[in-house]
Structure 1
Amino acid sequence: MTDLNHANGKPAVILLSGGLDSATCLAIAKNKGFTPYCLSFDYGQRHNAELKAAARVAAALGAAEHRIARIDLAAFGGSALTDASIAVPEDGVHEDEIPVTYVPARNTIMLSFALAWAEVLKADDIYIGVNAVDYSGYPDCRPEYISAFQAMGRLATKVGVEGASLTIHTPLIRLTKAEIIETGTALGVDYSLTTTCYQADDEGRACGVCDACRLRRAGFDDAGIKDPTRYRAV
């Protein structure tokens, strides 16, 4: 999972949610010299503000292409992000338990889509903005999970069997939120374009009280950088 020094325009698939982390991931990939192909998902989440944000970010950072794949994880529910009967937590992050905002198998499904597009593009590289620091309870954000999926991807594809070496890049996995923000700021990311909130309104304004908002706001505070987030009136 080590980044190349410079990719010389090679294509890479970037999983782009429209949030702070994925925007930073896109900027890192581009800075490494990759030609970014961004993939977002309309998966039955509570709002589509993040998809609008993803489109803004992809355009601002010069993605070669941005696609939105439609899947229906709301058909299964089991998460506060896909089931309206489960409340979004607003009492802070508890590191000793898996949050109800975990969406069952989401990263596995999204990485599988990314793997398919990468094979078509003849891209050996996929970027995903998973982080094991702020969300250590998410099982599909752990380094060992990424390593296992990477190994599977090399076994499961035609290009892998023919000798291509798939790499899943996780440049944020060991960074704090402040470090992520500092990195993105240095690379010119405009975080006012992003949406991180679990329950943003139709205009993309954040609630300011969910766990995602708490972590984002604390990250800007810790980095000493002005928070450009638009919050709705409470």
Structure 2
Amino acid sequence: MSPSAVVLLSGGLDSTTVLAFAKAEGYEPFALSFRYGQRHEVELDAARSVAEAVGVVRHVVCDIDLRTFGGSALTDNIDVPKHSSVDELPVDEVPITYVPARNTVFLSFALAYAEVVGATDIFIGVSALDYSGYPDCRPEFISAYERMANLATKAGVEGAGLRIHTPLIDLSKAQTIEMGMQLGVDYSLTSSCYDPDSQGRPCGQCDSCLLRLRGFAEAGLADPLLYQVGKS
């Protein structure tokens, strides 16, 4: 019998690749997405399409309203920063698109889901290379969280323990895309933009779009998405 795993699935490029990776590694995936008050809720439509295409045991969408706190361009009345190229992205600072404690919150729900379905493995698509400078995408955070998880859960105390897998942590966006292509990922189903239009088309100018576009360019591939500014 294949082991079960909880996979955090936003519907974006990274989490979709991780879902395909977990499936290829022989896990039976239980996908977990969040409606957390994000302005780019179109990503949930993408997550549903991805979960159906890749094949999951169950896909749960949890409702948690981080707009209650705000503090991010993704959950508050703050403009999403736009740039003309990746070179303009700020360095050595946490951008306003960072959602306070988001991965900490998401992983907490993943722990609960894992315990209920009997999974000892959790997959999350964080990367320490091509990302926007978020502190909760670093390997130090994941290692600390895994230690905490094994202190704070029944599975950690009485069972085999919980493991948090980060298969993209050392990969560039181009390497992630190359991995996904080898796994047969259909990136036309994904959504990465922080500020899509009413039709769900990506802006092509936010941090996430620019990093995604650079990844496809470095991989020698065309992004299958249709961008508002014609960058695909």
Q: TM > 0.5 between the two?
A: yes
Separation in structure 1 between the aligned mates of residue 123 and residue 43 of structure 2, nearest angstrom: 18
Question: Does structure 1 conserve the Cα–Cα contact (< 8 Å) formed by 2:11 and 2:45?
Answer: yes
Separation in structure 1 between the aligned mates of residue 202 and residue 80 of structure 2, nearest angstrom: 13
Query: Which residue of structure 2 aligns with residue 88 of structure 1?
Result: 80
Gaps of 5+ in 1: 1-7
* Aligned with residue 42 of structure 1, among 35, 55, 60: 35
Query: Which residue of structure 2 aligns with residue 156 of structure 1?
Result: 152
Identity between Structure 1 and Structure 2 (%): 62
Query: Which residue of structure 2 aligns with residue 228 of structure 1?
Result: 224
Separation in structure 1 between the aligned mates of residue 178 and residue 38 of structure 2, nearest angstrom: 28
Separation in structure 2 between the aligned mates of residue 29 and residue 228 of structure 1, nearest angstrom: 23
**1:31 equivalenced with 2:24 (yes/no):** yes
Letter paired with 1:88:
V
CA distances 1:13-32 after superposition (whole Å, capped 9, x unpaired): 00000000000000110010
* CA drift at 1:78: 0.4
Query: Which residue of structure 1 aligns with residue 168 of structure 2?
Result: 172
**1:209 equivalenced with 2:201 (yes/no):** no
Letter paired with 2:2:
G
Give the match's secondary structure for 1:97: coil
* CA drift at 1:233: 5.5
Query: Which residue of structure 1 aligns with residue 49 of structure 2?
Result: 56
**TM-score with structure 2 length normalisation?**
0.94
* CA drift at 1:134: 1.7
| Cα distance, 1:136–1:204 mapped onto 2, change above 3 Å | closer
CA RMSD of aligned residues (A): 1.2
* CA drift at 1:163: 3.2
**TM-score with structure 1 length normalisation?**
0.93
Separation in structure 2 between the aligned mates of residue 230 and residue 68 of structure 1, nearest angstrom: 26
* Aligned with residue 14 of structure 2, among 21, 29, 34: 21
CA distances 1:18-75 after superposition (whole Å, capped 9, x unpaired): 0000000001100100000000000000031100000000000011111100001011
Letter paired with 2:52:
A
Gaps of 5+ in 2: none
Letter paired with 1:54:
A
Separation in structure 2 between the aligned mates of residue 198 and residue 182 of structure 1, nearest angstrom: 23
Give the match's secondary structure for 1:52: helix
Letter paired with 1:89:
P
Of 115-124 and 92-101, more deviation after overlay is shown by 92-101
Query: Which residue of structure 1 aligns with residue 3 of structure 2?
Result: 10
Query: Which residue of structure 2 aligns with residue 133 of structure 1?
Result: 129
* CA drift at 1:127: 0.3
Separation in structure 1 between the aligned mates of residue 198 and residue 16 of structure 2, nearest angstrom: 20
Moved over 4 A (4+): none
